[in-house]
Amino acid sequence: MSHQSSYITTAIPYVNGDPHLGFALECVQADLLARHRRLRGEQVRFLSGTDDHALKNVEAAAAAGVPVAQFVDEKAERFAALREPLELSNDDFIRTSRDPRHGPGVERLWRACVASGDLYERYYEGLYCTGCEAFLSPSDLLDGLCVEHRRPPEQVAERNWFFRLSRYRDQLLALIESGRLRVEPEQRRNEVLAFIRGGLEDFSVSRSQERAHGWGIPVPEDPSQVIYVWFDALGNYISALGYGTEGELYGRWWERSGKRVHVIGKGIIRFHAVYWPAILLSAREPLPTAIFVHDYLTVDGQKLSKSLGVTHDPADIAARYGSAALRWWFLREVPRTGDTDFREERLAARANELADGLGNLVNRTITLVGRYRPNGVAQFETRTEASLTLRAVIHRTPDAIDEALSRYDIRSAAAALWSLVEEANRYVAATRPWELAKAEAGDASSDLDEALGALVDACRTLAREFQPFLPAASERIERALAASDPKLGRRLFAKAM
């Protein structure tokens, strides 16, 4: 493994409810990064999964009157089933309660922190939000309520194991300030740095068996406690690689991989950019190289949340509008920073954009070539200003996408790709190939070959560069361009929308 390899992960969501569009957004963003790097020749491993060990899962199961293991199994299946409607390409999917790799990995991580002298016991009293799965300070509350979940935290007093987070303040600052641990976008990086500079307190990494209702991984050598869900859940990134089971993937994709990238939502940045690197430093293991953070999706200004009952089923939306339309809305509309309000009319507008812009361009090109050059476009020379302009856009589009994605600016990458669609459509309007065909008077026309050749090249570039964005649609464009019968080509592409 070398710098030409990437390990890309989503966060693993709690399964206290059905999947919502916010997690679907994260899956598609991570999938885009994975597919793009594969397209550029990198070796990639892409992981997703579910966080099964959480008190909120226990509470949800109790409310439903279902045993927690059964409840978690049923909900986790719905998350795993997003693969097809979202056209995901993850190589692995881990479930923390069932995967035989996970428990041993978390136990090894725990023992490594013990060996570093970073775990100790003490009695603790504090305010605990089950929705956040975290202790909160009074300053974290608004009118006595958790800001995220809009409910009062529970007063908890018990003996727990603690992790010496305070020991790692200076190392974490140096890592993030230097860019060795990259946090994007800059707004989130500054948020993390401010949190660290404000001072780090040791945090609880276990819960009593009684409060956890026996649901979780027991603390090694202390069966009265279970490992805190965040220590447990963060370990999935390496347990899935065989960290605790002597699997060869750990060395290949974590120790020696050039890029170790976490894609997460802003609500869990503290756990990923502070707690997780500190745990890895304690265990003397490599750190992630980048943490890419997205903001929230909202509906009528309200955050999508399983706990709050604000969801929207991504599989249902994909079934009604098509996977391509949903993926394109995520990638084309959601900005790098700032929350995005979801409305179905916006999704419908992006679906129409695809059909009217990309669909018509490909169909027109196939029809024109089939009608006027059924045996193929002859060699031609690029001479006209319109052709030179289109060629320039074709040439720079891949680099523009690469540059945008290097900044984790997915919307700019989609805009760069769409610029080629728009330029090619302008080219059709400017050159009017059907009129060039009339002017041929039966002789081969270099003007017509130049126009058709430029359009075919544009469509081929679009087919290739759309692969990470709209994989099924991209494949159908390629098949349509290769089809000898233009009617077949149009029919193949129409299925993508």
pLDDT tens, position by position, 28-43: 999 999 999 999 999 9
Given this model, what pLDDT does residue 438 score?
Answer: 86
**Residue-wise pLDDT tens digits, 329-375:** 999 999 999 999 999 999 999 999 999 999 999 999 999 999 998 88
Residues 301 and 392 in one domain: no
Percentage of the chain beyond pLDDT 70 is 93
Residues 93 and 132 in one domain: yes
pLDDT of 1 above 60: no
Classify residue 332: in a domain, yes or no. no
Residues 449 and 486 in one domain: yes
Residues 112 and 240 in one domain: yes
Could you give the count of Cα atoms lying within 13 Å of 427 in the half-sphere of its Cβ?
A: 32
* pLDDT mean across residues, the chain: 91
Owning domain of residue 413: 344-494
Could you give the count of Cα atoms lying within 13 Å of 203 in the half-sphere of its Cβ?
A: 24
The tokens for 309 are 């009952």
Domain boundary among 300, 318, 336: 318
Classify residue 30: in a domain, yes or no. yes
Domain boundary among 253, 283, 318: 318
pLDDT band at 149; cut points 50, 70, 90: low
Residues 28 and 66 in one domain: yes
- Rounded mean pLDDT of 321-329? 96
Classify residue 333: in a domain, yes or no. no
**Residue-wise pLDDT tens digits, 93-147:** 999 999 999 999 999 999 999 999 999 999 888 787 776 777 777 777 777 888 7
Cα distance from N-terminal residue to C-terminal residue, the chain? 38
Given this model, what pLDDT does residue 310 score?
Answer: 45
pLDDT of 475 above 70: yes
What's the domain count of the chain? 2
Residues 313 and 397 in one domain: no
Classify residue 223: in a domain, yes or no. yes
Q: What is the CATH number of the domain that holds 213?
A: 3.40.50.620
pTM here is: 0.92
Residues 287 and 393 in one domain: no
Residues 237 and 375 in one domain: no
- Rounded mean pLDDT of 418-441? 93
Classify residue 337: in a domain, yes or no. no
Given this model, what pLDDT does residue 490 score?
Answer: 58
Classify residue 92: in a domain, yes or no. yes
- Running DSSP on this structure, what letter comes out for residue 246? T
Within 10 A of 497 (CB to CB), how many other CB atoms are there?
Answer: 19
Q: Provide DSSP, 164-217.
A: -GGGGHHHHHHHHHHTSSEEESHHHHHHHHHHHHT----EE-EEEHHHHTT-SP
pLDDT band at 311; cut points 50, 70, 90: low
Q: Distance between CA atoms of 384 and 451, rounded to whole angstroms?
A: 9
